[in-house]
A and B are shown apart, each in its own frame.
Chain A
Amino acid sequence: MAQAYSIERSTRASRITAIVALLALAALAAAPWWAGRADLRLLGEVYSFVALATLWNLLAGYAGLVSVGQQAYVGFGGYALFALAMFLGVHPLLAIVLAGIAGALIAIPVAPLLFRLQGAYFAIGTWVLAEVFRLGFAQVSSLGGGSGISLPAGVVAGIAASRPLREMLVYWVALAIAVAAIGFVVLLLRSRIGLALTALRDSELASESLGIDIWRTKLLVYVGVAGLTSMTGAFIFLQKLRVSPDAAFSVNDWTAYVIFIAVIGGIGTIEGPIVGTVIFFLLRETLADLGTTYLMILGAVAILVMLRAPQGLWGWFAARTGLTLVPVRRRVVFSDQSK
């Protein structure tokens, strides 16, 4: 018997999105030729926040693991990069990848401890973990102790032959990290694990009864996110050229802003964190001169969005237009039925 059905995943909108995204990616990859040095730096920062928000969103929006301690991995990645580059002479760009692997490895023993905690207790536990990391790295005098350390000029010069080339390389690495983070989330959600993840988000009871290993699924997501967050952290501090415990494990910079981005963009959507990052940087670049008033405006925007569009701006938009740019759902089409 011929197969009387087919499984479709893409939609018209998603095919157009794929083309637009590729064009945008090509344009962004060419930025060193059309953007100034300051713009490249800013874009690098934007990419790192796209990555952080996308990863946090996977954790909170899909796996139900609301962490307020992802700065643990940002800081760990930063310090890992400095240690690898300074003590072992590893090329900084390679060190970013190694920092990611180290972050994932450290998450494996950490996860079982945190997973014993539920809901709000889990959130607090992640924060405590980040503080433990901060206090731990502050004790390492060879990494500058409590006051931090700068990346030696020799290491920086070792990235590439000339300064423009170095800045170009660093920029591309940032772009690659953002693309990797988004790609990771999309591929994961489209896979078997994604099916399990969406199922257990809706009902853990039914998931367990249908044979899904909840613990292992969450562990996989937590470890994957930890690894990529550490890579992003390594990049962030390579760009900053200086790391200190307070900057590396800042709950404000690496978690509060990231949650702000995910919440205003739309938790539980792939598009949300990207939209949120753009809005966040627009606000920051136009209002940052206002000092504390800027923070008050950020707070007001967050409150307004949460009240008026609890699904975030992208969630609000998607609900009205029915538009999904990145398809993770499956449609079954029967050949004996017209659509």
Chain B
Amino acid sequence: MTILTATGLSKRYGALTVTDNVSLSLGAGEALGIVGPNGAGKTTLFNLIAGTVRPDAGAIRFDGRDVTALPARERCHLGIARSFQIPHPFSGMTTYENVLVGAAFGRRASERASEARAVEVLELTGLKRKANTYAGDLTLLERKRLEMARALASDPRLLLLDEIAGGLTEPECVELVATINGIRAEGVSLIWIEHVVHALLAVVDRIMVIDFGRKIAEGEPRAVMESQQVAAIYMGMDAEMAHG
């Protein structure tokens, strides 16, 4: 069963095409990794799926329903949650309250259920000790973790994670991978944009490569990462030279 289908998504800003006819589909419970160089249009793809940005062309179906015209908040109510690459914490609130916002508005749960969910997520994401710290006083790493916690608190069916492993130490990275695999075990579908490839490989079922707004490769993670196109992008060589 597919939970998300995007067909022919395109987005232009003036003369610049940031998403160029991208299609993708995601099975329920599946985890998809997205890689590609900076500026390739990965985050824009998230903006399109989450509803922050409307596509110029193409359609998005979530759980059998056309959501292309729905605003971000309604997609959130349906079960699409995302973290932002550049954290957007609610600085004037505590960490707990930040997570509570996700729990209280995502599923429109009761006050008590939201509180319980928020506390549960704080424990799951290792932010329990920072519960009463103002989000504005958190370190960058903690803010990234808060991004994930807030999205998770909304009890999503599809979680979009945007570069949350960058800058982590190796033990922290292992911990993060364990947390994300724990989330997957609850049946949450996942799309994860990440440069830290070994973390990605420990989680995802499939990888998609984006460059200049286009999908240039997709498939089994290791095969994709060892392919010519990826080598060309990441090593700065063109495909012929890489194999030449």
Give A residues with C-beta under 8 Å from B. 3, 5, 7, 192, 195-196, 198-199, 201-203, 205-214, 329-332, 334
Contacts and interface: CB of A to CB of B under 8 A. Distances in A.
Given A203-B89, A211-B76, A330 B102 contact: no
Among A192, A196, A206, A212, the one with the most B-chain Cβ atoms within 10 Å of its Cβ is A206
Interface string B83-120: 01000111111101110111011111001000110110
Contacts of A203: 88-90
Contact of A206 (B77, B90, B128): B90
A332 to B, nearest CB: 5
Contacts of B91: 202
A253 B12 CA distance: 50
B150 A332 contact: no
B76 A202 contact: no
B203 to A, nearest CB: 22
B131 to A, nearest CB: 5
A217 B58 CA distance: 31
B150 A210 contact: yes
A332 B93 CA distance: 13
A128 to B, nearest CB: 29
Contacts of A210: 73, 76, 81, 101-102, 105-106, 150-151, 154
A246 to B, nearest CB: 39
A199 B93 contact: yes
Contacts of A211: 73, 76-77, 102, 105-108, 154
B52 A209 contact: yes
Interface residues of B, number: 40
A209 B119 contact: no
Contacts of A207: 90, 101
Contacts of B71: 208
A195 B100 contact: yes
B82 interface: yes
B132 interface: yes
B115 A205 contact: no
Contact of A212 (B50, B96, B101, B131): B101
Contact of A196 (B81, B101, B111, B115): B101
Nearest to A202: B90
Contacts of B98: 199
B90 A209 contact: no
Contacts of A5: 119
B90 A198 contact: yes
B6 interface: no
Contact of B93 (A205, A208, A329): A329
B92 A201 contact: yes
Contact of A330 (B82, B96, B116): B96
Given A196-B101, A202-B88, A330-B97, 5 more contacts: A209-B52, A209-B84, A211-B102, A331-B94, A332-B131
A192 B97 CA distance: 11
Contacts of B111: 192
A199 B131 CA distance: 16
A202 B89 contact: yes
B72 interface: yes
Interface in B59-87: 71-73, 76-77, 81-82, 84
A206 B84 contact: yes
A207 B154 CA distance: 12
A217 to B, nearest CB: 10
B97 A195 contact: yes
A205 B52 contact: yes
Contacts of A212: 73, 101, 105
A206 B147 CA distance: 9
Contact of B97 (A206, A209, A329): A329
B110 to A, nearest CB: 10
A266 B52 CA distance: 34
Contacts of B76: 209-211
Nearest to B102: A210
A203 B151 CA distance: 14
B52 A199 contact: no
Given A7-B115, A210-B150, A332-B132, A198 B73 contact: no
27 contacts: A195-B104, A196-B101, A198-B92, A199-B101, A201-B92, A202-B90, A202-B92, A205-B52, A206-B84, A206-B88, A206-B89, A207-B90, A209-B82, A210-B76, A210-B102, A210-B150, A210-B154, A211-B77, A211-B102, A211-B105, A211-B106, A211-B108, A211-B154, A329-B93, A329-B94, A330-B100, A332-B132
A192 B115 contact: no
A150 B166 CA distance: 71
Nearest to A196: B105
Contacts of B128: 334
Contacts of B150: 206, 210
Contacts of A206: 84, 88-90, 150
A331 B130 CA distance: 11
Contacts of A199: 90, 93, 98, 101
Given A329-B97, A332-B119, A208 B72 contact: yes
Contacts of B105: 196, 210-212
* Residue in A195, A214, A329, A334 whose Cβ sees the most chain B Cβ within 10 Å: A195
Contacts of A3: 116
A334 B91 CA distance: 22
Contacts of B84: 205-206, 209
